[in-house]
Structure 1
Amino acid sequence: MATIEETNVTVVRDYLAALGNGAAGDALGRFFSRDARQIELPNRLNPKGGESDLATLLKRAEQGKTLLRQQHFDIRSVVAQGSHVAVEAVWTATLATPLATLPAGAAMKAYFAMFFEIEGGRIAVQRNYDCFESW
Structure 2
Amino acid sequence: MKKEDITANEKTVIEFLKMLENRKSSNELDRFYHPEAQQIEFPNALTKQTTTRSLQELKEASEKGAKILSKESYEIKNLLPSGHTVVLECVWRGTLAVPVGAIKAGGQMVAYFAQVFEFKEGKIFRQRNYDCFEPFS
Report the TM-score when normalising by structure 1: 0.93
- Structure 1 residues 81 and 23: CA distance shift in structure 2, 3 A: farther
The corresponding residue for 2:125 is 124
The corresponding residue for 2:57 is 56
**Using the alignment, how far apart are the partners of 1:86 and 1:65 within structure 2?**
25
| Structure 1: gaps (5+ residues) | none
AA aligned to 1:39 is I
Q: Per-residue displacement from partner, 1:68-120 (whole Å, max 9, x unpaired)?
A: 01000000001001100000000001000112332211111000000000111
Q: Provide the alpha-carbon RMSD of the alignment.
A: 1.5
Q: Per-residue displacement from partner, 1:4-53 (whole Å, max 9, x unpaired)?
A: x7000011111111011134332122100111001000000111130100
**Using the alignment, how far apart are the partners of 2:48 and 2:105 within structure 1?**
22
Q: Which deviates more from structure 2 when the two are superposed, residues 25-34 or residues 108-117?
A: 25-34
The corresponding residue for 1:22 is 23
**Using the alignment, how far apart are the partners of 1:35 and 1:23 within structure 2?**
23
SS at match of 2:57: helix
SS at match of 1:56: helix
Fraction of identical pairs, as percent: 37
Question: Are 1:39 and 2:40 an aligned pair?
Answer: yes
Question: Are 1:78 and 2:79 an aligned pair?
Answer: yes
AA aligned to 1:98 is P
Question: Does the aligned pair in 2 maintain the 1:68–1:97 contact within 8 Å?
Answer: yes
**Using the alignment, how far apart are the partners of 2:40 and 2:25 within structure 1?**
18
SS at match of 2:127: strand
**Using the alignment, how far apart are the partners of 1:25 and 1:72 within structure 2?**
17
**Using the alignment, how far apart are the partners of 2:126 and 2:71 within structure 1?**
25
**Using the alignment, how far apart are the partners of 2:120 and 2:50 within structure 1?**
24
| Structure 2: gaps (5+ residues) | none
Report the TM-score when normalising by structure 2: 0.91
**Using the alignment, how far apart are the partners of 1:11 and 1:23 within structure 2?**
18
Question: Does the aligned pair in 2 maintain the 1:22–1:70 contact within 8 Å?
Answer: no
Alignment size in residue pairs: 133
